[in-house]
Amino acid sequence: MTSHSTDTDRLLLPLPGGPHRVGTQELSLLDPDRADPWQTSRRRELMVQLWYPAAACAADAWPAARYVTPSVAAHVLQMWAEEGEEFDPALHEALAGTRVHAVDGAPAASGPLRPLVLLSPGLGEYRAGLTALAEDLASRGFIVASVDHPGDAAAVAFPDGRVVPHHEPADQEGGATTDLETRYLATRVADLRFVLDQLLAPHSSWYGLLDTARVGVAGHSLGGAAAAELARLDTRPAAIAVLDGSLFGQVLSTGLDLPVLLCGLTPPDPEDPDILAGWDQLWPLLRGPRRHTTVHGAGHMSATDFDALAGPLGLRDPDSPDDTFSFGTLPPGRGIALVREVLAAFFDEHLMT
């Protein structure tokens, strides 16, 4: 694949399904107590994006939110490239200009304390790639924190202009899976715990808006494994959702007591039957309300914005087996619509009531 037929005028995320207008703000967080595992001379820094119901009277006065910077878009597209392939920089600009529905910096709507949902993307993905999920949940009354994990994200841009690219799992004794479990997973769990520390602390500007007893965590792919391990170690999550991908860690031995959603997206693959490794092992160890559902016809990336964006970007080939794995057989945009319905229904049941 060396060229792409694009229709970038259609780079628009699906409309949120709830009644609220959505606002968004970026947070840059520094953890003074942790070294970055990929740059040990630096303390761990995170970028978090908050999505929330916006005050209706002020929302129209604020600008539309930016999707990603062109530099992050370039890294994202390169993750999709075949070996030696380079994308036209115009495509970077097009992806960066994807139209979202949230307004940047709008004040939050007043009202009762709201549930918080953390979102953790898949390995090599990025926080903005779950914007369609975040906007939908925020439109339904949740406050959502999408977390970038520098080092395993496609790229993370910081306010000082630095862009931290993706680091491939190490080729070491024990293989990449060992690195996923010992470094990537542990780092993600520590990231999520730190974000909770910051958002739920009394000094946080969000503290007075959040119901600290109603915290959900949803993760796609490796983010799902992080959500499960976080729930094992931390009592603050009240419900978690795993969106496709294998599970790792001690949770497979201990199980969980809180409500858990296991949402499968990937079509069965005889050559890789373990794409959802750990699900059968964890299921009997779930002692709280549990739900195991499959979005039939979806693919692994159907939880992400690329379910809607890959076609206009020229990155979707229905005749390719890789395309079937990534997007399934549903029409473009249908997969993410179904995932949003499943996720909203689960968190409505366990965090809104």
What tens digit of pLDDT does each residue of 192-228 get?
999 999 999 999 999 999 999 999 999 999 999 999 9
What contacts 217, CB < 8 A, 6 or more positions away?
A: 117, 118, 120, 192, 227, 230, 231, 237, 239, 240, 241
Contact 228, 217 (CB under 8 A): no
**172: pLDDT confidence band, cut at 50, 70 and 90?**
very low
H/E run at residue 240: strand 237-243
What tens digit of pLDDT does each residue of 152-171 get?
999 999 999 999 999 887 65
What pLDDT score was predicted for residue 188? 96
Q: Give bridge partners of residue 116 from the DSSP assignment.
A: 143, 215
Percentage with pLDDT > 90 across the chain: 77
pLDDT at residue 173 greater than cutoff 60 = no
pLDDT at residue 134 greater than cutoff 50 = yes
What tens digit of pLDDT does each residue of 218-232 get?
999 999 999 999 999
- Token pair 């999709």 is found at 80
**52: pLDDT confidence band, cut at 50, 70 and 90?**
very high
What domains are there in the chain, each with its CATH number?
Answer: 8-352 (3.40.50.1820)
- pTM for this entry: 0.94
Q: Token digits for 110?
A: 């007043």
How far is residue 201's CA from residue 305's CA, in Å, rounded to a whole number?
31
Closest CA to 337 of 265, 278, 271, 273: 265
How far is residue 109's CA from residue 118's CA, in Å, rounded to a whole number?
19
The residue with greater pLDDT, 85 or 72, is: 72
Q: Cα torsion for 320, 334, 263, 274, to the nearest 10°?
A: 0
